[in-house]
Amino acid sequence: MAGKYELYKDKAGEYRFRLKAGNGEPILASEGYKGKDGCENGIASVQKNGPLDERYERKESSNGKHFFMLKAGNHEVIGKSEMYESASSMENGIESVKKNSTTTNIDDQA
């Protein structure tokens, strides 16, 4: 099963999206957007930048967990991953985003 984007409105009334892998697991989450068009632009930016390894910033949190951020060409953060126990698990997450980011399947729940 292919990945998909879920576009939704959060409790604060902001639009957000998450990219889910084919198995339904969320692999990338966006920031909040005031308008739906901004959120749709964020999805388009992930579709464009997701396959590019140089767009990923790999990080380690203060508690030793690993995560990554996907950035656009202008260095703005487009999305952030969940926390991973190991660097290798984080790398698997990055590979999953690369593989699934170009999908045009968008589940609009807003």
pLDDT at 2: 80
Whole-angstrom distance between the N-terminal and C-terminal Cα of the chain? 23
Name the nearest CA neighbour of 19 among 87, 91, 83, 78. Answer: 78
pTM of the model: 0.92
**Residues of the chain scoring pLDDT < 70:** 1
Q: What is the largest CA-CA distance in the chain?
A: 36
Q: Is the separation of the CB atoms in 39 and 15 below 8 Å?
A: yes
CATH node for 4-108? 2.30.29.80
* Separation in Å, CA 39 to CA 29, 59, 89: 11, 24, 28
Q: Is the separation of the CB atoms in 20 and 103 below 8 Å?
A: no
pLDDT at 39: 97
